[in-house]
């Protein structure tokens, strides 16, 4: 079937990453490289931070390289000691997150050495990391990816991106389906989804933009969001989360991937991204913007909904 | 929280109004000092600026039993802090879309610009929203969530129903 995603170039990418990581560590361009290494289970891959050229041989890149490594550079992970310039392996979606963090003054471009991946897609889940990459196992975000080739990186492996089958975007279809329902039906849908949440906050932990020192949702004086994993608090958590990520979310879909309860978190993110595109012509991309759509304004902004 | 109340014809909507102190609060004050009549259903909460009105306050209001919410502040260009209402306008434009997507009826959430001189407009806005919400009936969605929170689910078994009726 031509549903197979061609990732034959990933082996060459892995070789290039190893060589480049060794070179930049050797030459002192960077003090550390954030990348992927082989995990213990067959086919599995996990994030790693290496600081010596000799360790570079451990690095890899496969269809199981799902993690958005940008999260390791945020304030939320400040227990990772850091000095000097850091090398980091980024797929297109991960780069959008880094760009967003630069726009929010969390990172400086000259403190980073970006190794960009000509990415054909990654697995939706790491439950079976050795699985073949076909349309059914491909991460939904990759179906509608517009960032296969990251731009503005310091190094991109010299491989050509194989042509990929065109796949129907699944988020867009699901958003359209929900939009066509009545409010009551939508409420019923989300009520069921949110009810599943166990408030493990894995989604918050993995998100590169959830770097607040104290999350509003953890505060109890005043308590704006009930912290218990029960319907009211869950609904409030999900609405607040979607709102706080609106105009910032890079669409890496890590939140959705890590959710143990299979809540379609990225559906809310995509919906907000769609609305912000329509309302304020804003989209997460490769260009650093000093201000996002929700911390800037124009006098002529639409106010037809205001009396 | 008492289900039998919901069916009674004497439903009085609870409207929470988040207003800025410089324009809409003064406008509401003007309506009062001019002895204009407006529905007493509205509970006014004063903020320094619409820019300080976090969307989470609106959620909280619905959770705590509001049937409708009004957010009101200075007209564009009149903000005491220069641009607070411009920021608020964008934030609420986005927040409305989010609430709509999770299934909240947007007729229950009204935004308006009411200046310190517009006592009459305040009366109109509040009256309109109150009547719209009255026609819609009580906002049950968020309240049901809170109820489930206390009851570990809907009152589906006879035992639970009986226990509920005894309190
Ligand atoms: S909200 Fe989800 S998709 Fe968006 S940046 Fe955070 S983890 Fe990625
Ligand atoms: S990861 Fe899933 S279950 Fe955990 S807090 Fe987030 S939405 Fe809830």
Please answer whether residues B113 and A159 qualify as being in contact, where contact means their C-beta atoms are separated by less than 8 angstroms.
no
Low-confidence ranges of chain A (pLDDT < 50): 1
Give Cα separations from A217 to A178, B88, B97, B143 (angstroms): 27, 21, 21, 20
Per the model's pLDDT, the better-predicted residue between B154 and A95 turns out to be A95
**ipTM beyond cut 0.85:** yes
Identify the pLDDT of residue B162.
84
User: Is the preceding omega at residue B111 within 30 degrees of 0, hence cis?
Assistant: no
Say whether pLDDT at B161 is over 90.
Answer: no
| CA atoms within 13 A of residue A265's CA, in its CB half-sphere | 31
% residues pLDDT > 90 (chain B):
78
% residues pLDDT > 70 (chain B):
90
Which pLDDT tens digit goes with each residue over A198-214? 999 999 999 999 999 89
Strands A32-38 and A45-50: antiparallel
Identify the pLDDT of residue B146.
80
Question: All domains of chain B, ordered by start, with CATH?
Answer: 12-166 (3.40.50)
The per-residue b/e assignment along A220-235, b for 16 or more CB within 10 angstroms, e otherwise, is eeeebbbeeebbbbbb
Are residues B94 and A294, on separate chains, in Cβ contact within 8 Å? Answer: yes
Ligand 2 centroid vs A191 CA: distance in angstroms? 14
Identify the pLDDT of residue B149.
66
pLDDT band, residue B2 (cuts 50/70/90): very low
B103 CA to chain A: closest CA distance, Å?
Answer: 4
Which pLDDT tens digit goes with each residue over A63-81? 999 999 999 999 888 777 7
- CA angle (A257 as vertex; A251, A262 as ends), nearest 5: 120
pLDDT band, residue B157 (cuts 50/70/90): confident
Per the model's pLDDT, the better-predicted residue between B144 and B97 turns out to be B97
Neighbour count for residue B24 (Cβ, 10 Å): 31
Q: What atom of ligand 1 comes closest to residue A254's alpha carbon? A: 7
pLDDT band, residue B152 (cuts 50/70/90): low
Q: Which of A195, A242, A259, A268 should be mutated for ligand 2, with most atoms under 8 A from CB?
A: A259
Question: DSSP class of residue A303?
Answer: -
Which pLDDT tens digit goes with each residue over B8-66? 568 999 999 999 999 999 999 999 999 999 999 999 999 999 999 999 999 999 999 99
* Alpha helices in B64-109, H assignment, sequence order: 84-102
Q: Give residue for tokens 């699985």.
A: A131
Identify the pLDDT of residue B160.
75
Within 195-224 of A, beta carbons closer than 8 Å to B belong to 216, 224
Q: What atom of ligand 2 comes closest to residue A234's alpha carbon? A: 8
The per-residue b/e assignment along A25-50, b for 16 or more CB within 10 angstroms, e otherwise, is beeebbebbbbbbbbeeeebbbbbbb
Please answer whether residues A129 and A64 qualify as being in contact, where contact means their C-beta atoms are separated by less than 8 angstroms.
yes
């Amino acid at each position: 079937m031509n549903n197979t995603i061609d990732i034959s170039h990933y082996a060459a990418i892995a070789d290039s990453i190893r060589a480049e990581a060794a070179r930049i560590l050797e030459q002192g361009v960077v003090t550390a490289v954030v990348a992927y290494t082989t995990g213990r289970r067959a086919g599995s891959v996990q994030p790693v931070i290496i600081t010596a050229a000799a360790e570079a041989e451990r690095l890899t890149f496969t269809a199981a390289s799902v993690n958005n490594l940008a999260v390791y550079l945020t304030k939320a992970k400040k227990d990772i000691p850091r000095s000097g310039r850091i090398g980091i392996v980024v797929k297109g979606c991960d780069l959008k997150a880094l760009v967003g963090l630069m726009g929010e003054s969390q990172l400086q471009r000259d403190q980073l050495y970006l190794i960009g991946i000509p990415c054909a897609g990654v697995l939706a889940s790491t439950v079976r990391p050795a699985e073949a990459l076909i349309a059914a196992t491909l991460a939904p975000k990759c179906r509608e990816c517009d960032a296969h080739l990251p731009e503005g990186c310091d190094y991109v492996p010299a491989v050509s991106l194989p042509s990929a089958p065109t796949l129907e975007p699944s988020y867009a279809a699901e958003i359209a389906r929900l939009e066509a329902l009545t409010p009551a039906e939508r409420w019923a849908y989300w009520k069921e989804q949110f009810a599943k949440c166990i408030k493990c906050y894995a989604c918050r932990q993995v998100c590169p933009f959830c770097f607040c020192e104290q999350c509003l949702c953890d505060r109890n004086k005043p308590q704006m969001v009930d912290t218990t994993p029960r319907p009211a608090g869950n609904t409030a958590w999900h609405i607040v989360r979607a709102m706080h990520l609106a105009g910032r979310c890079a669409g890496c879909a890590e939140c959705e991937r890590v959710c143990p309860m299979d809540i379609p978190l990225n559906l809310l993110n995509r919906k907000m991204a769609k609305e912000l595109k329509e309302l304020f012509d804003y989209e997460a991309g490769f260009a650093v913007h000093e201000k996002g759509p929700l911390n800037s304004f124009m006098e002529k902004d639409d106010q037809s909904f205001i009396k | 929280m008492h289900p039998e109340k919901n069916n009674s014809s004497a439903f009085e909507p609870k409207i929470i109004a988040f207003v800025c102190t410089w324009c809409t609060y003064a406008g509401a004050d003007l309506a009062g000092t001019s002895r204009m009549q407006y529905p007493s259903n509205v509970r006014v909460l004063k903020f320094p600026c619409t820019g300080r009105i976090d969307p989470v306050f609106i959620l909280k209001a619905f959770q705590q039993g509001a049937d409708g919410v009004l957010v009101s502040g200075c007209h564009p260009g009149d903000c005491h802090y220069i641009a607070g209402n411009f920021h608020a306008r964008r934030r609420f434009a986005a927040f409305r879309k989010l609430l709509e997507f999770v299934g909240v009826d947007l007729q229950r959430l009204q935004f308006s610009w009411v200046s310190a001189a517009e006592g009459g407009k305040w009366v109109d806005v509040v009256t309109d929203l109150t009547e719209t919400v009255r026609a819609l009936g009580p906002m049950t969605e968020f309240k049901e969530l809170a109820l489930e929170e206390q009851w570990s689910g809907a009152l589906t078994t006879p035992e639970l129903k009986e226990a509920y009726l005894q309190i």
